[in-house]
Structure 1
Amino acid sequence: MAYRGSRYTGYRGRSRSVLKGVIVALAVVLALAVAALIMLENQQVFSGEGLHLGNVGQSETPTPSDTTPLVVVTVSPTPTPTPEPTAPVRIAGLPASALTDGTAAQQVQAAGASAAVFDLKGDDGVLQYVSSLTLAAQGGANGSGETRNADIQALNEGDLYTVARVSCFRDNKVPYYVPTLGIKTNSNYNWRDGGDYRWLSPTNADARQYVTDICVELARLGFDEILLDNSAYPTDGHLEYIRKGDAYDAAQFETVVTDFYAQVKSALAAYPDVRLSIVTDSATLLSGSNAVSSQSVAGMTASADRLWVELGESTLTDVQTALAGQGVELPADALVPIADAAGDASSSWATLP
């Protein structure tokens, strides 16, 4: 029995060694499999088709089956429009007869102009149309002719640009018939200027209203522009003969004149297409105001759309430079030189009737 036990002990030991080897091998295989799974984890991509491997660190974007080619459209920025150069203003003064005889357009063309200006209220106070105003009838200022107003309207309905000049306070008619409206001398006569013309008093509210109402009637007749001339206090003649007082108080002059311009502008508000213009002189524009007439740059530009200027010895450039120094920048067509004769086609000019 002892011999048999010794023989079989060696056999059992050999079987255990083989089993241990198998276990170790399986453990190694398992470890390698786990390591492989860990290494491949970041390369696993899930999609609608299941799990598959991708490149590490890259995001896979599905490619559409029907891809439309990308069209790149370059949009150019909208260019800033270049302002059209302002055409020169060329206005020819025509006689009153051209208001009704059908020759206005031909006369304007012959003068090389593009517009016409007529005296509708002259320095003598006479109106070139039939007014409905009481003072016009009282002062014997009315024009005549049953069809005169209709003829004027017909002219203004055409293509010709028309300007109505109004001699505001220089008026030889109405103060003669209605003396209370005139500027007075120390002897209580109607004062006359260096040209022997009477003047309505700018201080008188009825005189200002009369002129304002005339401007409205002219706008109603279809004129494109109302031009106020002699629209402040007189500067010519023996001013020392004028009676001082409430009717002629230099301290009030500028306020009276500026308010008159505003009054006319307001009255024309119902006719927004009608331009309001004022005649002035270069000395007033160069200095900013005139102590005698009491016109001022500020007062005129507050109401006027355009200034007509008697240049005298000055140039248009002188005036423009002076206005710029006062902070006033006028468009090129808002400053028109008054000339003795028609100018050329490249510059602005106006002649008075």
Structure 2
Amino acid sequence: MFEKKYKVKHYKSRIYNPIRGKIIRIALIVLISGALFAAGWFAYEPLMKAINNANKEIIQNDPVSKPEPEKKPAELPQEFLDKDTVAVTVPTEKLYDISEYYSFIASLDKEVTAVVIDMKTAGGEVTYKSKQVSVQNVGAASENAVDLASYIDTARRAGYDVIARIYAFEDSTAPYNSADMAIRYESEEGVLWLDDSVDNGGKPWLNPYSDTAQKYVLDIVYDAVDLGVDAILLDGLRFPEENAAMGYAYFGVGTEETSREEILARFAKRVYSATVTSETDLLIAFDGERASIYGDTPTYEADGFSPYIDLTLFAGKKAVDGTEFGELPADTTEFVKAVYASFNLAPETKTIPVISCGGLTAGQLRSAVRALNDSGAAGYIVVYDEALFTGTPQNPDEQPPD
């Protein structure tokens, strides 16, 4: 075996040893690597901040990368039955005189939010100019019939919502002009049936079973929807009162197979179908006294109901639920709350009661409307009375006078 010999290189100042050269090179590599690592370590944080800031600036200046701010949904118009409506009826005589109508609108109290305009009165008179063939054929329009669109526009520009009141089958005008729509006496060939004797002011009625009568009323409803009223108050949706005369009332062949309540419910549904796709709400009026005393509260398809309340008719009577109404007090708050509760309405039912001012003092009216609000009504309609204030009291906390 030969022993390995180192190759000796001769330089000017020294002799080069290959082992020592390798060690030096390794040491230099380690030293340089450590220095680079240390430099990188201390430079990392400011470097990353610089990079992040640069990226942030790029994102902020780049409209494509910037996320769109979340948009709020457009605010929907408030539903009519959620507005705390305070309405007053427009007297017919003021409707037929344009200057009187303007004065009436201008005189309303600041608390009033809506007006009620009759399109078809309880007497059957049509107050406006209709293009419906059925309405024109019946010929029940007043000789003073108005351009209702302009009247509605006047009310709207003054800041008021508009409720159109339409009496359905309570109509003593159309039967004389179109007997096929009327209740007849004993048979189809009979004369017009009257709800009482002529001497007692007996009146004819439209026949709720008559398709022609239903179409006639519906055409007026369609006019109201086309005019864009905020709500329709469908009144007179009933049969005549039960009395001796009703024993002679003839409604048509086969009508006994469908109950009166059912035929009214079907018609109410037809009216609701005419309004449901529009922005017009349907309110159905009913007799508050009958609902309280006899339990005749309707359950028709509608957006809301309007019980007609004449407080003087409740005094001294007893409701079907056992509630006893005493004399009408000066402060009607508790009296009215008891009346409203006796209607036995479903909890979710929306109501805008119609309150008669007849026989009431200003204090009784003020406390009555406060009681309706406290009972959950969505507002109220005051039947106009020259002698009484048409709106709510200026100070709602004011105690009614004795």
**Conserved? CA contact 1:139–1:173, under 8 Å:** no
Q: Which residue of 2 aligns with 1:113?
A: 112
Cα distance change on mapping 1:130 and 1:304 into 2, 3 Å: same
Q: Which residue of 2 aligns with 1:32?
A: none
Post-superposition shift, 1:258?
A: 0.6
**Structure-1 separation of matches of 2:148 and 2:251:** 40
Q: Which amino acid aligns with 1:184?
A: R
User: Normalised by the size of structure 2, how large is the TM-score?
Assistant: 0.56
Q: Which residue of 2 aligns with 1:213?
A: 219
The correspondence for 1:330, drawn from 345, 349, 358, is: 349
**Structure-1 separation of matches of 2:136 and 2:230:** 26
Structure 2 unmatched runs, 5+: 1-33, 35-43, 47-81, 315-324, 326-334, 374-378, 385-402
Partner secondary structure for residue 353 of structure 2? strand
**Structure-1 separation of matches of 2:83 and 2:231:** 17
What does 1:157-306 correspond to in 2, within 5 Å? 157-158=156-157, 159-186=159-186, 188-194=190-196, 195-235=201-241, 238-243=245-250, 246=253, 249=256, 251-272=258-279, 274-286=280-292, 290=296, 297-299=298-300, 302-306=301-305
**Structure-2 separation of matches of 1:330 and 1:236:** 28
Q: Which amino acid aligns with 1:93?
A: T
Cα distance change on mapping 1:281 and 1:89 into 2, 3 Å: same
1:63-99 CA deviation, whole Å, 9 max, x = no partner? Answer: x989xxxxxxxxxxxxxxxxxxx77543222223544
1:292-314 CA deviation, whole Å, 9 max, x = no partner? Answer: xxxx5322xx3242323335416
Post-superposition shift, 1:160?
A: 1.2
Cα distance change on mapping 1:197 and 1:304 into 2, 3 Å: farther
**Structure-2 separation of matches of 1:319 and 1:221:** 35
Higher-Rg member (1/2): 1
**Conserved? CA contact 1:182–1:201, under 8 Å:** yes
Q: Which residue of 2 aligns with 1:340?
A: 357
Q: CA RMSD in A?
A: 3.6
**Structure-2 separation of matches of 1:152 and 1:138:** 24
Post-superposition shift, 1:257?
A: 0.5
User: Normalised by the size of structure 1, how large is the TM-score?
Assistant: 0.63
**Structure-2 separation of matches of 1:166 and 1:225:** 11
**Structure-2 separation of matches of 1:253 and 1:264:** 17
**Structure-2 separation of matches of 1:145 and 1:335:** 30
Q: Which residue of 2 aligns with 1:318?
A: 338
**Aligned-pair identity (%):** 20
Q: Which residue of 2 aligns with 1:74?
A: none
Q: Which residue of 1 aligns with 2:122?
A: 123
Aligned residues, how many?
265
1:182-218 CA deviation, whole Å, 9 max, x = no partner? Answer: 0111261212224422111001112111111101102
**Conserved? CA contact 2:286–2:308, under 8 Å:** yes
Post-superposition shift, 1:229?
A: 1.1
Post-superposition shift, 1:113?
A: 3.4
Q: Which amino acid aligns with 2:153?
A: A
**Structure-1 separation of matches of 2:222 and 2:104:** 23
**Conserved? CA contact 2:207–2:251, under 8 Å:** no
Structure 1 unmatched runs, 5+: 1-48, 50-63, 67-85, 291-295
Q: Which amino acid aligns with 1:131?
A: S
**Structure-2 separation of matches of 1:177 and 1:87:** 40
**Conserved? CA contact 1:261–1:303, under 8 Å:** yes
**Structure-1 separation of matches of 2:352 and 2:156:** 26
Q: Which amino acid aligns with 2:381?
A: A
